[in-house]
Amino acid sequence: MKTFFNLFFTFLFVSSSFAQIKVTTSNSGLNLRSEPTTSSNVLFSLPNETQLLYANDWAEGWIKVRYLTTAFDLSETTEEADVTGWVNAAFVETKLFKSTVLDPISWQENVDGCFWGIYGVGGLLGIESFNPESTDSKFKVKIKGIEYTLSVIDFNDNYYKWEHPQLKIEFFGATTDHGLESSESKGVLRVEFNGKVEYIYAALGGGC
C-alpha cells in the first residue's frame, strides 16, 4: 500500500509541475517577484485571473510559478512573456497549498526551546518535541481552535504517520534530516479528519 502511495505522489509531483493554477487579485495586478519577499524585484505585473504554471517550489506565504503567455493567451496580442518568479500565496486559487482542516499553530505556545514540525505555505501546521523518532513522542495540531494530540505510528527517511481516533496525518515524498526546512524536506501531506481527506504541499523541519 505504501508503494502505491509513493508512486501516486511521484505522479502528483510530476504532473503538478505542469498544471495550471489561477491567481486572483482585487482591482490591481499581482506582482511576480524574483524572490519570495515583498522587497525583491518585480518581474511582471499579472492581470486578475491570469493562468500560471506551478514551478515546483514554495516558501512560507509564497508559491513559485511560471508565467507563459504563449501557452494560455490565445487572443491576438504582440506581447509575449516567459517569466518564472514568486507570487503571494494569498492570491492563488488552489487546494494543493491551503489546508481546509488544519489551522496554523504557534510554536511559542507549545514548545520551550527546540521543536520539530510540519510547515505549509500558510505557516506551521503541527508541532512536537524535538525527538520525532521516539514512539512515545506526541504531535499537536489545531482544528477549529481545538488542539489534538497524535501519536507517532510509523516513520522512515521519507514517510511519517501520526494518528488520533478522529484524525490521521501522513507525510510522503521527501528525504528529511530532522533539521531546518529545506527543499529536500518538502513533500505532500495527507490529512484525514472525520472521513474528509485532503492533500497539500508541506515540509518537515525544526529549529531552536
Render pLDDT for 117-172 as a digit per residue (tens, 0 to 9). Answer: 888 998 889 987 555 455 556 789 999 999 999 988 888 877 889 999 999 999 98
Residue 201 near residue 109 (C-beta atoms within 8 A) = no
CA atoms within 13 A on the CB side of 81: 20
Domain end marker among 93, 123, 156: 93
pLDDT of residue 7: 38
**CA nearest neighbour of 150 among 129, 165, 160:** 165
Residue 115 near residue 206 (C-beta atoms within 8 A) = yes
pLDDT of residue 146: 92
- Per the domain annotation, does 98 fall within a domain? no
Which domain, by its residues, includes 77? 2-93
- Per the domain annotation, does 31 fall within a domain? yes
Render pLDDT for 79-95 as a digit per residue (tens, 0 to 9). Answer: 677 899 999 998 888 88
Of 175 and 207, the structure prediction assigns the larger pLDDT to 207
Spatial distance between the Cα atoms of 59 and 35, rounded to a whole number of angstroms: 10
Longest dimension (CA), the chain: 63
CA dihedral of 23, 24, 29, 33, whole degrees rounded to 10? -40
pTM, two decimal places = 0.74
- Mark whether 51 and 124 lie in a shared domain: no
Domain end marker among 38, 69, 93: 93
Render pLDDT for 173-202 as a digit per residue (tens, 0 to 9). Answer: 665 444 444 445 788 899 999 889 999 999
